[in-house]
Amino acid sequence: MQRQITIGLTLVGAALLVAGCHTDMWQQPKVKAQQKSEFQGFSNKAASRPLVAGTVPRGKMKLDEAFFTGFQDGKLVKELPIQVDEMVLKRGQERFDIFCSHCHGRNGDGKGMINQRGLVLVRPPASYHSDRLRNMPIGHFYDVITNGFGVMYRQAPGVEPADRWAIAAYIRVLQTAMNGNLNDVPSDERSKLEASAGKPSIADAATPGEEKS
């Protein structure tokens, strides 16, 4: 009996071992990255081929012109192509502080740390609080982030399209905050503001570590 059990177990073990030894999937013909190909049709002998022209990853077709370019029919869009809520503005603020504020300043006045430390080779970063940029269609900000502007290089690689719009929306917040007056404030909030007059406001807000002159 003992012997039969031993033989049985040995057979089961052997069967498992043999079953695990299939190498046909492992050894199938295939190309690895950077490998050479002898295929006659590939004149440069590279096994990895570039994508066929016009290939678009599934679900990544950029059909929405306004959303992906900031233009519609050749004109800068005047309205945000996304829904704006508090979350979007907070996201815009966060992304702006990360990707733009070191040049443009936390409040968009163009006096970020890079400007203050004299690292301005050709032109200083723009202030967003000029009449021209206040009246600029919002698509312009998307376009500047996407393609750069003058000496400013493009920020597209670090900032996804939806985040570019969030930043554009937040630039409008900065513009409004820096150019508002008391009439823009709801009447019940005005008295609070008047009471705090003389205390620091957003216009004085400095980038942390910034030296006030």
The binding site for ligand HEC (CB under 6 A) comprises 99-100, 103-104, 114, 123, 125-126, 141, 144-145, 149-152, 155, 159, 167
Q: How far is the CB of 96 from ligand HEC (least distance, A)?
A: 6
CB of 80 to ligand HEC, least distance (A): 14
Looking at the Cβ atoms of 150 and 186, the one nearer to ligand HEC is: 150
Measured from the CB atom, the residue of 75 and 123 that comes closer to ligand HEC is 123
CB closer to ligand HEC out of 84 and 185: 84
| Closest residue to ligand HEC, based on beta-carbon distance | 150
**Is the CB of 13 or the CB of 148 nearer to ligand HEC?**
148
DSSP string, the chain: -HHHHHHHHHHHHHHHHHHTT--TTTTS----TT-B---TT-TT-BSSPPPPTT---TT-----HHHHHSEETTEE-SS-SS---HHHHHHHHHHHHHHTHHHH-TTSSS--HHHHTT--SSSPPPPTTSHHHHSS-THHHHHHHHH-BTTBPP-GGGS-HHHHHHHHHHHHHHHHHHH--GGGS-HHHHHHHHHTTTS--GGG---TTPPP-
